[in-house]
């Protein structure tokens, strides 16, 4: 240990900053560690804001306290962590030559210049805001700071707002939508692009859309905000690009975030091509005495080695910890990169993803195969719930490079499982035989993840030819000449059916009724059942009997996001 | 496709056998596939038996039907899978020279000789039975066949049995215990060895014991069955090795299974040193035309390359599928091995494991480090539940080679996650920075798996010195001279405390009260808190202030399985 205590300054007091500071303290009891935080609060669990707003819990302190119930205020940081936390204090500039940071104490207006040996920038990100007329009206908010959470929670508690618009159909947009819905507010999410939840592929995103609509929240896609409308400075509606006016007393903007790189930029630190502070694997900026972590940086994708921004709470903490260690033992820890893993609860659906979507993988230049699979999470006799997922593999290496999973079933477990498989660079073949924890309360004998690998394996090896629900819809809409076969039982057909010109031949009867199939063996035949397991079995048989264009509609009726006859 | 249809015989009609047959059918519509099954039923979900017995569901058909509700009887196999299923038919012998199997139709007593090109042996295992006096009394059962399940379900439905003894404290023993408990039967599990659930290390197993006892089911360890007692041929008690007599009307034996290798052995096939049929990675026996899978074989551990038996339903299905593929395209699929992953619900606890326990790893000769960690599965504000786990790493490679996780929290997800990490041969360092799906309904910002890796990392790098609860108990019981420090708040101390001579100094006050610590800096100091997070932080500080023997009691009070003062 050096005789002179190391002076560490950390700018930003929410996730990455405090984590770096706390870890540094554990590494070195004698360092001088100071946290500079603009806001009044510290260590806020931002990810919990939607649940506080939605009334899942009522004690605001739970957002800023330890598991033992102690609020993480400057006194806590002083006593428990021996970290000096300067709140309501903004870092104004960094002098890299002098190794100082100039700070402004916001309440008093006083500035002070703090010296550092090592500096951490964890300034986070700021919410983006559409630049349209009326955006200064009262009643327009984001949900980013604890102040925002307080304000939206007050909306719930006051119970006056009846209609709200959420601008932006991403994770936070839908969390806000659900929270407002729980507050009894009629909510519409508007999304500029054609699709909500951009990390999903469109077919799965549509299933989530349907689910949200089934909860009586509305979604409008392909439509941005043209203007906020109001009277007497108060919001009373949102005007969309197509002219529609949606009356509402509240609008919440959730169109993404922009990394806070102003300080770093002004200090001459390198900014990466994705707009975040550039850091190496040690989370060190272009100045070796300055580290940066969290929403303000960009990092590396472990899938394709590209730099990406990953504004997630877990990543901020992981990176913060790496810094905390390196502050005391330089280059002793590294952050290798991310696997694009995230999750969100949207009403009764879990929506999770890891790795690349089909679209992202293609854009990144991968030659891929995908499999969309519907199935239960646990056995029917244990009251299993549906999962619909899509697994993406790189043809060349056989590696799994993406997995999306949605539905009322336990998607969280499946996404975590595949995230680890991706981290381990496992191939579809590896997943084919994975030894997972099986018992009826927890999974099928062959877990959804394994079945997904099996189906992908079947497609990669040419044993199954798939067709997506959207391609089938196109065929149907364009009146294409194909034979559509539903392989379920007559009873199932009575209860629910697509009504897209299909013929019903139950799998069990198929081999005896081959004469009802197209005489032209090269005619396209599209098969499905509820989840397309029986569709797949039927397809294997038909191929053996000489039909050459036999395709399984992946995911079956459970993955069909369009209107059904029944 | 060959002009002559391939003749495939499969012996065993529950999991591995039907899976191999079904996969072979999908690979080759023209093969002749015959399933030989001794019992009347086919494709039984044995793993579901305890839930049927316990009344979690009442429709017996759910144990043998497809997700679409069709019972998998010979008609189903014929129609949907075009597989001939001969039920109530026992395979008596295999003539490898003639390539035939002699079968006995049990109802009629007729035998027939069936020819094969390729044969699959999937004869499963048989329950072990203690050879003690009285073992032929009425009222002694196993839970292995569907017939057993019917009988035990009838016990529930009749409501006459009031007391039961379960012999054997493994997974199935506790599933049966819970099922009988749900049927209102006072149940005692007796276990010959000193510990229930042998795949767990003792400290964790004891926590499960406590949980079971809290449900008013009893457990007696270190005690085998000396005799079954009865009158008029009917069981009325169990006598233990130590002479104790437990009155009961029902005893269920669950002391493990023995692979059914009789047929294979008689045919001269190689039997492995673990007592199962020996197979290669293609699941081929020593006769290249004969495959074997499921409970009757032994396979390879991916952790230490040893042969092991893995009598699990998922493994049976995975291996069956590999065979189904190889039957048609030899050597096209392989089963690389298992990672020892399993799980079980025991009342409100999930008990899961993957890889090796500390004991197993040491026995296998690994130089290991372990970390026992308590923590919530999701945030407190989302009503997080406790998990207690132990992660095991190989020092040399840094690889994670084991993980046990128990508690009311979602252990299933964590075990699946680590199972995949083990499959990917990931190191503790890899897990340190894993990108998992984080949102408050699903995990902490740093998931329990990651925190477990962090703690293990701290131990591996010497930043934390741990001591297990059982070592602390030994210290206390032997009156060892050590200083025990509880670092929680006075309020927490009032509500719950160990009472093992500890001193209370809250973490936040510790640095100001160093004078209350032993003057002898080399005295052993043991720290803990509720989960030992604050204990660890305090330990880091004390080390910096010169104490040299500072140990964190791993898992904290939540991992303490012994009686507490409060
Ligand atoms: C509503 C909501 C829900 C979310 N849900 C999830 C989720 O479910 N899962 C997930 O992984 N992520 C989620 N996130 C994202 C997650 O909260 C962020 O990734 C994480 O907070 C980033 O941490 P950070 O420390 O980098 O930045 P921030 O948390 O943004 O903290 C930066 C801090 O720095 C301070 N600061 C900035 N500039 C200065 C300055 N010049 N001087 C002093 N202080 C300064 C700011 O005031 C701020 O407090 C969610 C975010 C929100 C808003
Ligand atoms: C109560 C219970 C709970 C369980 N829970 C779980 C769990 O939660 N998770 C898990 O992974 N595993 C569990 N298992 C284990 C799992 O059920 C087995 O691993 C799996 O069934 C093995 O499949 P198998 O096909 O190899 O053998 P089996 O299922 O035993 O099937 C073998 C079949 O072959 C037939 N047979 C044997 N010899 C002949 C012959 N000579 N001729 C004709 N037929 C023959 C038998 O009648 C039998 O039906 C549980 C088992 C039980 C009994
Ligand atoms: C909490 C915060 C201040 C970080 O402080 P911290 O002291 O590192 O975090 P914790 O109090 O959880 O302590 C974690 C330490 O205890 C260790 N630990 C956790 N559980 C343990 C247990 N049962 N036994 C032993 N050690 C344990 C961890 O490994 C870690 O130590 P390490 O980093 O040296 O390995 C910072 O993460 C924060 O401000 N979080 C709130 C905001 C946030 O995360 N927002 C984004 C998501 S909503
Ligand atoms: C069911 C059983 C007969 C096997 O038959 P099976 O036809 O292989 O099994 P399934 O009906 O589930 O069909 C699985 C096939 O459909 C595929 N599939 C599953 N879901 C699919 C979907 N949504 N879309 C397309 N294909 C799908 C699978 O990949 C598999 O095909 P493959 O092996 O060629 O890759 C056998 O597993 C069995 O008897 N099980 C019950 C007993 C048991 O498992 N006991 C132990 C545990 S309790
Ligand atoms: Ca993540
Ligand atoms: Ca398993």
Query: Could you please report the per-residue DSSP string of B411-469?
Result: HHHHHHHHHHHHHTT-BHHHHHT------TTT--SS-HHHHHHHHHHHHHTTS--EE-H
Single pTM value for the model: 0.98
Per-chain mean pLDDT for chain B: 97
Ligand 3 atom 13 nearest Cα: B533
This complex has an ipTM of 0.98
- Chain B, residues 23-42, CB within 8 A of chain A, namely 25-30
Contacts of A450 in chain B (CB under 8 A): 314, 318
The mean pLDDT value for B394-420 works out to: 98
- Chain B, residues 120-159, CB within 8 A of chain A, namely none
**Number of residues that this document lists for chain B:** 566
Task: Please write the tens of the pLDDT for every residue from A77-129.
Answer: 999 999 999 999 999 999 999 999 999 999 999 999 999 999 999 999 999 99
pLDDT at residue A1, rounded to an integer:
44
- DSSP 3-state of B385: coil
Ligand 4 atom 46 nearest Cα: B313
Task: Please write the tens of the pLDDT for every residue from A450-508.
Answer: 999 999 999 999 999 999 999 999 999 999 999 999 999 999 999 999 999 999 999 99
Please give the distance, rounded to the nearest whole angstrom, from the Cα atom of residue A19 to the centre of ligand 3: 7
Ligand 2 pocket residue status of B295, Cβ below 6 Å: yes
- DSSP 3-state of A301: strand
Task: Please write the tens of the pLDDT for every residue from A258-314.
Answer: 999 999 999 999 999 999 999 999 999 999 999 999 999 999 999 999 999 999 999
Query: B397: which residues sit within 8 A by CB, 6+ positions away?
Result: B427
The mean pLDDT value for B134-155 works out to: 97
Q: Is the pLDDT of residue A2 over 60?
A: no
Q: Taking CB atoms and an 8 Å limit, are B417 and A417 in contact across chains?
A: yes
Q: Taking CB atoms and an 8 Å limit, are B437 and A419 in contact across chains?
A: yes
Residue A438 touches partner B, C-beta closer than 8 Å:
yes
Cα(B534)–Cα(B52) distance, integer angstroms: 44
Residue A329 touches partner B, C-beta closer than 8 Å:
no
Task: Please write the tens of the pLDDT for every residue from B425-439.
Answer: 999 999 999 999 999
Nearest by CB to B382, from A25, A51, A537: name it: A51
Q: Which residues have CB under 6 Å of ligand 4?
A: A 373-375, 445, 451, 454-455, 458, 531-533, 536; B 14-15, 18-19, 22-23, 26, 43-48, 313, 316-317, 321
Ligand 1 atom with the shortest distance to the CA of A36: 43
Ligand 3 pocket residue status of B458, Cβ below 6 Å: yes
Contact A339, A423 (CB under 8 A): yes
Nearest by CB to A438, from B30, B312, B463: name it: B312
pLDDT at residue B3, rounded to an integer:
61
Query: Could you please report the per-residue DSSP string of A39-99?
Result: SS--S--GGGHHHHHTTS---GGGGTB-TTS-B-SHHHHHHHH--EEE-SEEEEEEETTTT
Q: Taking CB atoms and an 8 Å limit, are B446 and A314 in contact across chains?
A: yes
What SS3 string covers A367-399? Answer: CEEEEEEEEECCCHHHCCCEEEEEEEEECCCCE
Domains for chain B: give ranges and CATH numbers: 3-125+258-328 (3.50.50.60), 140-255 (3.50.50.60), 351-460 (3.30.390.30), 466-559 (3.40.250.10)
**Percent of the residues in chain B that have a pLDDT greater than 70, as a whole number:** 99
Residue B545 touches partner A, C-beta closer than 8 Å:
yes
- The gap from C-alpha A363 to its chain's centroid, in whole angstroms, comes to 19
Contacts of B462 in chain A (CB under 8 A): none
Contacts of B339 in chain A (CB under 8 A): 435
Cα(A395)–Cα(A456) distance, integer angstroms: 11
Please give the distance, rounded to the nearest whole angstrom, from the Cα atom of residue B62 to the centre of ligand 2: 17
Residue A317 touches partner B, C-beta closer than 8 Å:
yes
Please give the distance, rounded to the nearest whole angstrom, from the Cα atom of residue A332 to the centre of ligand 6: 36
Task: Please write the tens of the pLDDT for every residue from B452-472.
Answer: 999 999 999 999 999 999 999
User: Scanning every residue of chain B, which has its alpha carbon at the shortest distance from the alpha carbon of A543?
Assistant: B29
d(CA B164, nearest CA chain A) in Å: 24
Task: Please write the tens of the pLDDT for every residue from A165-180.
Answer: 999 999 999 999 999 9
Cα(B226)–Cα(B241) distance, integer angstroms: 5
**Greatest CA span in chain A, whole angstroms?**
90
Query: Could you please report the per-residue DSSP string of A238-299?
Result: EEETTS-EEE-SEEEE-S-EEE--HHHHHTT--B-TTSSEE--TT-B-SSTTEEE-GGGEEE
- Categorise residue A340: left if φ over 0, alpha if ψ from -120 to 50, beta otherwise: left
For ligand 1, pick from A49, A122, A263 the residue to mutate: most ligand atoms within 8 Å of CB. A122
Residue B1 pLDDT grade (very low, low, confident, very high; cuts 50, 70, 90): very low
Question: H or E segment at B484?
Answer: strand B483-486
Residue B79 pLDDT grade (very low, low, confident, very high; cuts 50, 70, 90): very high
Cα(B14)–Cα(B4) distance, integer angstroms: 28
Q: Taking CB atoms and an 8 Å limit, are B47 and A424 in contact across chains?
A: no
pLDDT at residue B4, rounded to an integer:
85
d(CA A557, nearest CA chain B) in Å: 13
A343 φ, ψ (degrees, to nearest 5): -160, 160
Task: Please write the tens of the pLDDT for every residue from A139-163.
Answer: 999 999 999 999 999 999 999 999 9
The mean pLDDT value for B186-197 works out to: 98
Q: Is the pLDDT of residue B30 over 80?
A: yes
Task: Please write the tens of the pLDDT for every residue from A27-50.
Answer: 999 999 999 999 999 999 999 999
Ligand 3 pocket residue status of A354, Cβ below 6 Å: no
Query: Could you please report the per-residue DSSP string of B206-237?
Result: HHHHHHHHHTT-EEE-S--EEEEEEETTEEEE
**Number of residues that this document lists for chain A:** 566
pLDDT at residue A51, rounded to an integer:
98
B10 CB-side CA count, 13 A: 36
Please give the distance, rounded to the nearest whole angstrom, from the Cα atom of residue A318 to the centre of ligand 3: 10
Cα(A22)–Cα(A10) distance, integer angstroms: 11
Contacts of B449 in chain A (CB under 8 A): 416
Query: A510: which residues sit within 8 A by CB, 6+ positions away?
Result: A487, A538, A541, A542
Query: A363: which residues sit within 8 A by CB, 6+ positions away?
Result: none
Residue A3 pLDDT grade (very low, low, confident, very high; cuts 50, 70, 90): low
d(CA B95, nearest CA chain A) in Å: 32
User: Scanning every residue of chain B, which has its alpha carbon at the shortest distance from the alpha carbon of A57?
Assistant: B381
Distances (CA, A) of A262 to A275, B12, B86, B102, B539: 11, 69, 76, 82, 39
Please give the distance, rounded to the nearest whole angstrom, from the Cα atom of residue B139 to the centre of ligand 3: 54
């Amino acid at each position: 240990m050096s005789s002179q205590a190391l002076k560490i300054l950390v700018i930003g007091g929410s996730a990455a900053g405090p984590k770096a500071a706390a870890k540094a303290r554990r590494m070195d009891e004698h360092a001088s560690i100071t946290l500079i935080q603009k806001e009044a609060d510290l260590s806020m669990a931002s990810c919990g804001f939607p649940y506080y707003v939605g009334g899942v819990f009522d004690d605001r302190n739970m957002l800023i306290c330890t598991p033992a119930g102690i609020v993480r205020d400057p006194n806590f940081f002083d006593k428990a962590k021996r970290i000096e936390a300067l709140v309501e204090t903004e870092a104004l500039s960094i002098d890299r030559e002098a190794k100082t940071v100039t700070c402004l104490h916001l309440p008093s207006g006083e500035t002070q210049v703090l010296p550092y040996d090592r500096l951490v920038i964890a300034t986070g990100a700021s919410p983006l805001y559409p630049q349209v007329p009326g955006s200064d009206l009262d009643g327009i908010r984001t949900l980013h700071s604890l102040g925002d959470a307080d304000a939206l929670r007050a909306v719930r508690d006051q119970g006056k707002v009846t209609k709200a618009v959420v601008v932006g159909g991403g994770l936070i947009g839908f969390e806000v939508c659900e929270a407002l819905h729980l507050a009894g507010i009629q909510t519409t999410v508007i999304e500029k692009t054609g699709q909500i939840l951009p990390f999903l592929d469109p077919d799965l995103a549509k299933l989530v859309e349907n689910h949200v609509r089934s909860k009586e929240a509305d979604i409008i896609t392909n439509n941005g905000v043209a203007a906020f409308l109001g009277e007497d400075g108060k919001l009373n509606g949102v005007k969309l690009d197509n002219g529609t006016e949606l009356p509402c007393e509240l609008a919440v903007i959730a169109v993404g975030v922009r990394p806070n790189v102003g300080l770093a930029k002004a200090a001459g630190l390198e900014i990466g091509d994705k707009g975040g502070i550039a850091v190496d694997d040690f989370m060190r900026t272009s100045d070796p005495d300055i580290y940066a972590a969290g929403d303000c940086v960009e990092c590396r994708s472990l899938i394709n080695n590209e730099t990406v921004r990953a504004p997630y709470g877990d990543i901020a903490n992981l990176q913060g910890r790496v810094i905390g260690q390196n502050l005391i033992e330089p280059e002793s820890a590294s952050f290798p990169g991310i696997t694009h893993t995230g999750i969100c609860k949207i009403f009764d659906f879990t929506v999770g993803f890891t790795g690349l979507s089909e679209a992202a993988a293609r854009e990144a230049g991968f030659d891929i195969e995908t499999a969309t699979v519907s199935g239960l999470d646990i056995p029917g006799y244990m009251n299993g719930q549906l999962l619909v997922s899509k697994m993406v593999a790189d043809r060349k290496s056989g590696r799994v490079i993406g997995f999306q999973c949605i539905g009322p079933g336990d998607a969280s477990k499946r996404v975590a499982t595949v995230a680890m498989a991706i981290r381990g660079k496992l191939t579809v073949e590896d997943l084919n035989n994975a030894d997972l924890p099986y018992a009826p309360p927890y999974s099928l004998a062959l877990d959804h993840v394994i079945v997904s690998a099996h189906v992908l394996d079947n497609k990669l090896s040419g044993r199954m030819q798939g067709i997506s629900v959207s391609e089938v819809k196109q065929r149907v809409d364009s009146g294409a000449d194909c034979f559509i076969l539903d392989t379920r039982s007559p009873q199932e057909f009575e209860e629910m059916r697509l009504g897209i010109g299909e013929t019903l031949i139950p799998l069990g009867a198929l081999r005896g009724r081959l004469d009802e199939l197209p005489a032209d063996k090269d005619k396209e035949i599209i098969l499905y059942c509820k989840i397309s397991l029986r569709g797949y079995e039927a397809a294997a048989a038909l191929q053996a009997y000489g039909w050459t264009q036999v395709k399984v509609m992946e995911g079956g009726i459970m993955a069909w996001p369009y209107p059904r006859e029944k």
